[in-house]
């Protein structure tokens, strides 16, 4: 068996193999954001299916504007923490590790039980339309430009949620800095039109990201895995590129490392896509060249290319999304040499809920 199936030391934890379940929002929590038994079965299923590391869906971090979707889980109150604790225990009992993804929606805001007003770096809406499989909203709302007080409250939310995650027993924390959510918006010249310390130059656009990483690190202490997911593109603008190119992305990786991140998780439509305003490197290859930080990589990893990707990025964890949805036992299937199915997006219709997935599985059972 290839070494991708061997246990691997990832920061301070031992993972049973180098496959991770990519974070995937399923809008299946209780209306008050409490993770429930359905979610516990769901996440345990991926652990039983062989994924050495499970990364949860984006989980909101405060009772202000961080929630982006109805039925999204949070990690801000006792009931939510208890719900996650059950999930953590179930995944551990199945032999896998689990990280929580902490997410602030920013301008990519479709539903929130605490406020109707989205916030973002500037009064700029995302491109395109809201995501139909997360809710019925037809148009984005204009976000309010965050004040310094809003920024400090958002940082505080990440820090408190990190403390809660550690208390719930999670093995590590992934901060969501990708895909057009709040932290990615600050990095983006589409969203960020600020003329204060948080806008303009890359160093200024990086400031909030760095402050969040530092605050999370401070909250959980040393020897606890903390990292950040990074992309250029967003869910509605997958080809957005940083004007600073490869050098800019390298700078972001170095800055989060220096702020206390142990790993970055790069995500793109394809792990090997050359994808900068200049040069021919992928996100993953730029990040891999930075010393002193570990890597999770994502983007179209499947049964045909995983070995090449694993060889190209020794020690990196490979995060799998769509192939995992189609095959919750993807890793076990690889081990057994069994057939791997392609995703049928009907399983996420009309909404990307676990209930709809189970109904689809019932209808499509042989």
Ligand X SMILES: Cc1cc2nc3c(=O)[nH]c(=O)nc-3n(C[C@H](O)[C@H](O)[C@H](O)COP(=O)(O)O)c2cc1C
> Contact positions toward ligand X, by CB under 6 A?
22-25, 57-58, 101, 176, 178-179, 229, 267, 298-301, 320-322, 348, 352
Residues 54 and 91 sit within 8 Å (Cβ to Cβ): yes
Residue number closest to ligand X, CB atom: 321
For ligand X, which is the closer residue by CB, 155 or 325? 325
Burial class (CB in 10 A: 0-12, 13-18, 19+), 9: exposed
Query: Is residue 181 annotated as a catalytic residue, yes or no?
Result: yes
Query: In whole angstroms, how close is the CB of 200 to ligand X at the nearest point?
Result: 27
For ligand X, which is the closer residue by CB, 175 or 199? 175
**Rounded to an integer, what distance in angstroms lies between the CA atom of residue 357 and that of residue 346?**
8
**Rounded to an integer, what distance in angstroms lies between the CA atom of residue 346 and that of residue 360?**
7
Residues 230 and 267 sit within 8 Å (Cβ to Cβ): yes
What number of other Cβ atoms are within 10 A of residue 241's Cβ? 16
Q: From residue 282, give the alpha-carbon distance in Å to each of 45, 275, 287.
A: 32, 5, 9
Query: In whole angstroms, how close is the CB of 123 to ligand X at the nearest point?
Result: 25
CA atoms within 13 A on the CB side of 76: 22
Query: In whole angstroms, how close is the CB of 113 to ligand X at the nearest point?
Result: 18
Closest Cα partner for 153 from 267, 90, 76? 76
Strand partners for 55: 99
Which position among 46, 60, 71, 181 bears the catalytic label? 181
For ligand X, which is the closer residue by CB, 3 or 302? 302
**Rounded to an integer, what distance in angstroms lies between the CA atom of residue 332 and that of residue 329?**
5
The residue ranges of DSSP E strands in the chain, in sequence order, are: 8-10, 13-15, 19-21, 53-60, 97-103, 119-120, 144-145, 172-179, 226-234, 263-267, 294-298, 317-320
Give the active site residues.
181
């Amino acid at each position: 068996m290839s070494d991708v199936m061997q246990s691997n030391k990832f920061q301070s934890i031992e993972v049973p193999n180098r496959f991770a379940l990519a974070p995937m929002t399923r809008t299946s929590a209780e209306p008050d954001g409490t993770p429930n038994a359905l979610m516990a079965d769901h996440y345990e299923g991926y652990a039983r299916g062989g994924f050495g590391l499970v990364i949860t869906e984006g989980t909101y971090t405060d009772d202000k504007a961080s929630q982006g979707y109805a039925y999204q889980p949070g990690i801000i109150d006792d009931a939510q923490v208890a719900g996650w604790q059950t999930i953590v225990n179930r995944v551990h009992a199945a032999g896998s590790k689990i990280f929580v993804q902490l997410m602030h929606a920013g301008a990519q805001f479709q539903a929130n039980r605490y406020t109707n007003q989205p916030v973002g770096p500037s009064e700029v809406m995302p491109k395109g339309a809201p995501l139909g499989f997360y809710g019925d909203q037809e148009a984005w709302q204009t976000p309010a430009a965050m004040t310094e007080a809003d920024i400090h409250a958002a940082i505080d939310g990440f820090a408190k949620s990190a403390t809660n995650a550690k208390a719930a027993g999670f093995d590590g924390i992934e901060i969501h800095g990708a895909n057009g959510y709040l932290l990615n918006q600050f990095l983006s010249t589409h969203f960020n039109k600020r003329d204060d310390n948080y806008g303009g130059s890359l160093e200024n656009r990086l400031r909030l990201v760095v402050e969040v990483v530092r605050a999370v690190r401070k909250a959980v202490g040393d020897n606890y895995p903390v990292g950040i997911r990074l992309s250029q593109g967003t869910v509605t603008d997958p080809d957005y590129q940083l004007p600073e190119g490869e050098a800019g992305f390298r700078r972001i990786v170095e800055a989060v490392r220096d702020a206390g991140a142990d790993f970055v998780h790069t995500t793109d439509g394809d792990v090997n896509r050359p994808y900068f305003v200049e040069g021919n490197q992928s996100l993953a290859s730029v990040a891999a060249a930075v010393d002193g930080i570990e890597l999770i990589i994502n983007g179209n990893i499947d049964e045909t290319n995983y070995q090449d990707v694993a060889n190209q990025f020794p020690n990196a964890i490979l995060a799998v999304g769509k192939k995992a949805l189609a095959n919750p036992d993807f890793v076990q299937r690889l081990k057994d040499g069994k057939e791997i199915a392609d995703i049928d997006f009907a399983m996420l219709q009309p909404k990307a809920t676990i209930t709809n997935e189970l109904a689809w599985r019932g209808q499509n059972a042989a």
